[in-house]
Chains A and B, each alone.
Chain A
Amino acid sequence: MKKGRVWKYGDNVNTDVIFPGKYTYSVLEPEEMARHALEDLDPDFALNVKPGDIIIAGRNFGCGSSREQAATCLKYVGVQAVIARSFARIFFRNAINQGLPALQSEEAVDSIKDREEIEIDFSLGEIKAKKGVYKFSPFPESVLGILEEGGLIPYTKKKLETK
């Protein structure tokens, strides 16, 4: 459990502003992807984000393309978790598959302010902020297993090895 500073955004943050399409086939290394994170939404983000920071957003975070780099770039720029009212379905899957927790909590989105320092307790399913403690619904077993292994690729690798 590490404290993280919040970067707060609105509804429908789409994959094109998280990781622009023009880079999808030219930027291949995750570390370089990280340098373009949220480039078309907030050019300050990638320059100033610190490892452990947390993104909080409104509805439908990650809508649009299936491009997994949208999750990869956030993970590699050091984002600890994304908290939103809701996630677009492919982004949700991609985030989990990259080992990036995607948490849903209306209350947290309502009351946590931009740049606030908060803490996430994954084992208790709690977000601890200035104004209160907010629960997020725990992940189903299948999803938890993937997160614990740090993503789908290491998870599948392990599964193949034990077979």
Chain B
Amino acid sequence: MIATLLSGVRNDILFTFLAMTFNKGGILGKTFSEKILGLKAGKEVQAGEVVTVSPDYILSHDNSAAIFEEFKKLGTRNVKCPQKLVIILDHVVPASSEQYALNHKIIREFVAEQKIQNFFDIFFGICHQVFSENGFALPGKLILGADSHTTSYGAFGAFAAGIGRSEVASLWATDEIWLRVPETLKIEIEGKLPSGVYAKDVILKIIGEEGADRANYRAVEFTGNAIKEFSLASRLVLANMAAEIGAKNGYFEPDEKVLQWLKERAREKFEVITSDPDAKFEAVLKYDISSLEPQVACPHTVDNIKPVSEVEGEEFHQAVIGTCTNGRFEDLEVAARVLKGKKIHPKVRVLVIPASRQEYLFALKKGILEILVSAGCVILNPGCGPCLGAHQGILAPGEVALSTANRNFRGRMGSRESKIFLASPATVAASSIEGKITDPRKFL
């Protein structure tokens, strides 16, 4: 059964990919977002129009209990399309208090009652990683999630956007939502990444240049030669943080790497949808990354970006390597490369949180975790960890954190009198050795 399903998927991939490459099908001059939302709305649409659509998947996490509360107010008993719901527990796992435990319990009961098949309990990992690994993040799918970093799935060519709780509750009941077709900003990234510089540095640089609201209400399409060289894990970093320039969705045109990755994972058939060559973009923003330095986001906004050379020497107390932005194998591996045979500075504590069980297991088998533990890191279970300040490493007043996460807003990881700097896993690992922010290139 599974074999036929997969071979069916493979043929489909090949077919649609060829179709889209060689036959534009007559709809010319449209962006990816216009095409997919038009397809969903059953008519031709243009940026600026408001459409009513049904998504392919609806993501929620620990907030599913609160969404259920709203859902109950609607006076309907049943979720309209339970097969579309994907519920992943990740934000506070395992439950750190009675309150959180109750929250999880309510969700498990809801899942059983509504016969939700796509439920991932606390042992899987962060929603965005788990959602991707399990083949829901597919090209040409419309995915809406009650989480702002739902934009991540654009790395695989999906249209994926964050929405609020009431909207998810309403979607559960009606399977319908209004969306504005966004204008698209194209971000063209050229050049070769210098050694010691990573996707995280690229997106931090872009956020710093463009500002936190540059892409508000808009779609972002990442293109350029540099992108082709990026691993999927690296593309996910960009799509994930597209939310930090306000984007509704981020998008990468799926290439061979994506199709290859999906071969073993795709849940169902999909269609590759791409922007037409003559599509109208609101603007094209060009970046050459050939001489990019490692970048650091300084407190208290993600667009407060400085090159590492300007922040060097800044002392901190806690480092975090993980989150949906940078908790994958390639991130842990880079950290291990830096920390191999070294000890972290006695004044800092380093928390490592693999993004998912799969990534955890892979890092375990490859000996990466052994290196990190030997260096003095604390390995936490896959999940959001202290990223949103709920548990596992809350900051005290006056403390400073250096993290690979995507947000450094005041108070996010604990006290409002604490500070957060954001950087790449290499920068965080190197800085952990010195106990102050440092350029990772001297360790690589």
CB of A50 closer than 8 Å to a CB of B: no
CB of A138 closer than 8 Å to a CB of B: no
Using A25-B100, A26-B99, A93-B164 as known contacts, say yes or no to A40 and B174 having CB atoms under 8 A apart. Answer: no
For B62, give its contact among A17, A22, A25, A90 (CB under 8 Å).
A25
> Which of chain A's residues have a CB closer than 8 A to the CB of B163?
66, 90, 93
CB of A12 closer than 8 Å to a CB of B: yes
Inter-chain contact total with CB atoms closer than 8 Å:
135
Residue on A with the closest CB to B73? A153
Stretch at the interface among B118-126, B268-276, B405-413: B405-413
Contact with B along A12-54 (1 / 0, CB 8 A): 1011110011101110100000000001110000000000000
CB of A60 closer than 8 Å to a CB of B: yes
Using A40-B411, A97-B166, A97-B167 as known contacts, say yes or no to A160 and B173 having CB atoms under 8 A apart. Answer: yes
- Contact between A16 and B412 (Cβ–Cβ < 8 Å)? yes
- Contact between A21 and B390 (Cβ–Cβ < 8 Å)? yes
8 Å CB interface, B236-267 against A:
246, 248
> Which of chain A's residues have a CB closer than 8 A to the CB of B212?
12, 60, 63
For B388, give its contact among A21, A86, A89 (CB under 8 Å).
A21
- Contact between B74 and A21 (Cβ–Cβ < 8 Å)? no
Most buried by B among A14, A15, A25, A39: A25
**Alpha-carbon gap, A66 to B161, bound state (A):** 10
For B50, give its contact among A17, A67, A142 (CB under 8 Å).
A142
CB of B191 closer than 8 Å to a CB of A: no
How close is B231's CB to chain A, nearest CB, in angstroms? Answer: 27
Chain B residues with a Cβ under 8 A of chain A: 50, 62-63, 66, 69-70, 73-76, 91-92, 97, 99-100, 103, 145-148, 150, 162-167, 169-170, 173-174, 178, 212-213, 216-217, 246, 248, 301, 303, 388-390, 394, 407, 409-412, 414, 416
A/B interface sample: 12 pairs, CB < 8 A: A17-B409, A17-B411, A22-B390, A22-B414, A25-B66, A60-B212, A66-B146, A66-B147, A89-B216, A93-B163, A97-B167, A152-B170
Chain A residues with a Cβ under 8 A of chain B: 12, 14-17, 20-22, 24-26, 28, 39-41, 59-60, 63-68, 71, 86-90, 93-94, 97-98, 140, 142, 151-153, 156-157, 159-161
